[in-house]
Structure 1
Amino acid sequence: MMFSIYQIILPWLAIILSITSLFLSSWIIIPAPNRLLQILGVGAPEVSPWLFILNIISLLTALLCIYQPQIQIITCIFSLIGLMLCGSVLVKIAPTQMQMSAAIQQELGENYLAQIPLQVSAKMQPQPFSLANSFRGIPLEKIRHKKDILFATPGGVPLKMEVYQPEEVGKYPALVVIYGGAWQSGNPHANYKFNQYLAARGYTVFAIDYRHAPKYQFPAQLDDVRTALNFIRQQAAEYEADPENMILLGRSSGAHLAMLAAYQPDAPPIRAVVSYYGPTNLTEGYNDPPQPDPLNTRAILTTFLGGSPQELPDEYKIASPINYVTRPLPPTLLIYGSRDHVVQAKFGRRMYETLHKAGATAVFLEIPWAEHAFDAVFNGVSNQLALYYTERFLAWALFSPKSE
């Protein structure tokens, strides 16, 4: 009797497993049509090693537990399709890493790594991608962490920051991190693993806050970032930060604010800027939205600026970082995903080309399978590659003679 129950249950479990694994894997290539499914579109390629294992288990389960030939063939086909989808990411890792390595060497010099002190490079990830880290996570070390540091109260709104410091007391470069969230949401605790990781590599990381749209529209967000930078410079000694070695890093709308703040004519000394999939030209972003457009980029921009480019052309121009690239600017690292359906990679490439024409040092890295916010999965495939080159770019910007 027990054996007959298993004969009934196990085939159904095998069928469900094969359908589930294929469904999850399909988002590696299917663009998400709405905000809810965007989570799957972002996450699927980043956990492709896990999905690859799941599809193998699904295939073996179908072969061993399904006794009806037609159903067995169908479920095996599902599993094989899932394996191919996951494999389409895994087989691209090595060539993508080679392309990224060539791109950064082209801009910073073939010997750029030799300019980084050994005590700094020794702390970095030894390889661009580790399959072991995909499963166990990227190792994090002990640091010091301070929360709820009030730095301003514009209009009575309390703005706070979090500070991540190396475990040992010292004086460290200041890395200012600005979160994303369509200028409408988010908080300084976002991407805390990234902040902890960089602090352990010898940075004082300041994760700052800013006011949100629609209640507070541009330029309130830029004003808040500039206020935070002034606060950090004034209080640098208290947090063991070097105000003359400051770098700005942001994600999405936070990357937009990082570029905008660093490129202002009266900006404080900034050693480098890192943009993870940041908007660069808001007018073009409105006029040429992605297809599909799961987050409704036009609605986001309208909320942020108070209208369309036709209604507010000057505001869109002032709020676009690309319009400030009229002179040499701090070295800039731009990282985008080819499958980004929020901020298309082509805008990042145009920013790179514009920076080059102005005489600035710029590096453009593109990840073929990555969606917007790919680094939300900290140990994901894309973030491992991005993190590997980000920490090298940061170290080069601080220690290279050419960057001074």
Structure 2
Amino acid sequence: MQLVATIGIWIWGLLVLLGFCLSLWIIIPAPIFSLLPLSVGTPEISPGLLIFNSIILILGWIGWRSNISQSPRLFILALCISGLAVVLSASPLIQFPAARKQAQRAIEASLGRDYLGEIAPEIVAKMRSQPLIIGDIWGEIFIPQVRIDRRIPFVNRDGVPLYLNIYRPLQIGKYPAIVSIYGGAWQRGSPDSDDTFNRYIAAQGYTVWAISYRHAPAYQFPAQIEDVKCALTFIQNHATENETDLDRVAFIGRSAGAQLAMLAAYEHSPFPVRALVNYYGPVNLTAGYDDVPTPDPIESRVTLQAFLGGTPTEFPDRYYQASPINTVKPGLPASLLIYGGKDHIIQSKYGKYLDRSLRAHGNRAVFIEIPWADHAFDAVFSGVSNQLALYYTERFLAWALLKH
């Protein structure tokens, strides 16, 4: 009987360590790229970790009360570690109400307290009812069926064929357009990269154009923005046949894709753009080179050199032209800027700089920081951070594109 109890205690101790080590990634940024999935994903599933750690703590407390341990000091230490794991895994949920209030204040300050007042009730009813629905973390966010046309060629440059995907609601109609640009350090990705989001938002009543571009280091800036402009020209020429209303257009991008989306929306679009959604995009590439984060999991300077061909000293004009902060002027589209407070790839301070610059020039801007979120937090589509981001993204897009 004592042997069984000893084995049980060891198993419990290993579970304590497992829960604690996983929970640490909620607050610790990834030191290297291969560990980024842990740093990104763990905060997003933190409610599940909280349940796991709480059960382990309760079992340990029951064991302590039953006096089954022959090493009480070690047992108390393990209980303390388990309790700390509970606190760590609860931290995103503890911070959530304040983050939501900040987001609500930011969007109302820019768009007005009644910013959804001109949106049809049936449209609002299709949106997320709450910024966080715990059950969706395990049950996943429901996505209605949509029509999808994949791998539509739009240009061939230097022997590289480029494609786009089109996502549309099932019902035939004419819809506001969203141009979606994927991230991936300008080196990887495809129009399928943000497929879940593109399907979700298309089901809300939009035609989504997910475009592509040539990748670094084989192709360096400005090749990427030239490809984006080709895609926009293609969209302009084929809008009618693809149920697209070019009078109501928004751009959305993530990371490197957000940098391209900002340049396109602020400076290079052949048609008017009403809104931009920027998920953790680089804003000032010269500053990003000079002030690298610690830790630096993607080796920022190497990444920027691959994209721009060298250092800011060697190519100052390229760094200047590739930095969206330098395109800010009056009369720009309304911008929603969403950044993670834990992000050590694109630090949230750059989103704040852009927000201040946009508003100083008389533009509408909404800056939302998610304190616990890391870069690419929305890769966990049903996670805590993306539920908050999605709640405000769909409302911002409806305000910009679906008003009466």
Query: TM-score per shorter chain, which class?
Result: over 0.9
SS of residue in 1 equivalent to 2:116: helix
- Once residues 260 and 245 of structure 1 are traced to their aligned partners in structure 2, the CA distance between those partners, rounded to angstroms, is 18
Change (3 A) 1:31 1:61: same
Structure 1 residue 332 displacement after superposition: 0.8
1:277 to 2:287 alignment: no
User: Which of 15, 24, 27 is residue 25 of structure 2 equivalent to?
Assistant: 27
SS of residue in 1 equivalent to 2:259: helix
- Once residues 114 and 172 of structure 1 are traced to their aligned partners in structure 2, the CA distance between those partners, rounded to angstroms, is 20
Structure 1: runs of 5 or more not aligned: none
Matched residue, 1:75: 78
- Once residues 380 and 102 of structure 1 are traced to their aligned partners in structure 2, the CA distance between those partners, rounded to angstroms, is 22
- Once residues 10 and 178 of structure 1 are traced to their aligned partners in structure 2, the CA distance between those partners, rounded to angstroms, is 51
- Once residues 293 and 185 of structure 1 are traced to their aligned partners in structure 2, the CA distance between those partners, rounded to angstroms, is 19
- Once residues 326 and 265 of structure 1 are traced to their aligned partners in structure 2, the CA distance between those partners, rounded to angstroms, is 14
Q: Is the 8 A contact 1:261 1:267 kept in 2?
A: no
How many residues align structurally?
399
User: Which of 329, 344, 347 is residue 347 of structure 2 equivalent to?
Assistant: 344
Structure 1 residue 8 displacement after superposition: 4.4
Matched residue, 1:218: 221
Change (3 A) 1:348 1:134: same
- Once residues 340 and 209 of structure 1 are traced to their aligned partners in structure 2, the CA distance between those partners, rounded to angstroms, is 25
- Once residues 399 and 239 of structure 2 are traced to their aligned partners in structure 1, the CA distance between those partners, rounded to angstroms, is 22
SS of residue in 2 equivalent to 1:153: strand
| TM-score of the two chains, using structure 1 as the length reference | 0.95
Q: Can you list the C-alpha shifts for 1:270-314, whole angstroms capped at 9, x where unaligned?
A: 111110000011111111111111111111111100011111111
Structure 1 residue 6 displacement after superposition: 3.9
- Once residues 5 and 212 of structure 1 are traced to their aligned partners in structure 2, the CA distance between those partners, rounded to angstroms, is 60
Matched residue, 2:116: 113
Q: Is the 8 A contact 2:120 2:403 kept in 1?
A: no
1:162 to 2:165 alignment: yes
Taking every aligned residue pair, what percent have the same amino acid on both sides?
49
SS of residue in 2 equivalent to 1:286: helix
Q: Is the 8 A contact 2:232 2:269 kept in 1?
A: no
User: Which of 136, 146, 167 is residue 133 of structure 1 equivalent to?
Assistant: 136
Amino acid at match of 1:115: E
| TM-score of the two chains, using structure 2 as the length reference | 0.95
Between 233-242 and 338-347, the greater mean CA deviation after superposition: 233-242
SS of residue in 1 equivalent to 2:158: helix
Change (3 A) 1:187 1:171: same
- Once residues 138 and 80 of structure 2 are traced to their aligned partners in structure 1, the CA distance between those partners, rounded to angstroms, is 26
Amino acid at match of 1:392: R
Matched residue, 2:336: 333
SS of residue in 2 equivalent to 1:217: coil
User: Which of 196, 200, 204 is residue 197 of structure 1 equivalent to?
Assistant: 200
Structure 1 residue 229 displacement after superposition: 1.1
Amino acid at match of 2:289: Y
Matched residue, 1:39: 37
Amino acid at match of 2:242: Y
Counterpart mapping for 1:355-370 below 5 A: 355-370=358-373
Q: Is the 8 A contact 1:14 1:65 kept in 2?
A: no
The Cα RMSD (Å) is 1.6
- Once residues 399 and 39 of structure 1 are traced to their aligned partners in structure 2, the CA distance between those partners, rounded to angstroms, is 36
Structure 1 residue 366 displacement after superposition: 0.8
Change (3 A) 1:123 1:105: same
Q: Is the 8 A contact 1:59 1:75 kept in 2?
A: no
Counterpart mapping for 1:1-400 below 5 A: 6-64=4-62, 67-68=68-69, 69-264=72-267, 267-400=270-403
